[in-house]
Amino acid sequence: MISSYAKVGHHVSNLGIIGFSLSEHDSYIKQPLYGLINGFQESNVTGFGIEKMPMKIIDCSKNFSETDCLKERYSFVNWKKTMLNANDFTKNHDMTYFSIFN
């Protein structure tokens, strides 16, 4: 049975995660987040036939070690289908059209 989070991920064309480090005290959200991301990344088109953009993760990691830790916590992400900006929140990240309903 597909979770409702995976269904949402399957039907959206854009998905972005901004500033969510997924630390230990956030473990309660890992399963729904996994479902959403897995549903999004398992195909290149939505259930409506719209081509999907690469998933975007924006984080404020200060160095490669912190970026590696982030990638380890998000080990269920297909990094070949993900754009990671791991150095600040201030740049234009082309998230203008991000919407859960997009």
pLDDT in tens, 26-66: 888 888 899 999 999 998 888 888 899 999 998 888 888 98
Residue 91 lies in a domain: no
Q: Which residues contact 93 (CB under 8 A, 6 or more apart)?
A: 16, 56, 58, 85
Token duo for residue 13: 């064309």
Q: Does a structural domain hold residue 79?
A: yes
101 assigned to some structural domain? no
Total domain count for the chain? 1
Q: What is the pLDDT of residue 40?
A: 92
Domain that holds residue 44: 4-85
Residue 43 forms part of a structural domain: yes
Residue at 97 is within a domain: no
Map residue 68 onto helix, strand or coil. Answer: helix
Would residue 16 count as lying in a domain? yes
Of 1 and 22, the one with more pLDDT: 22
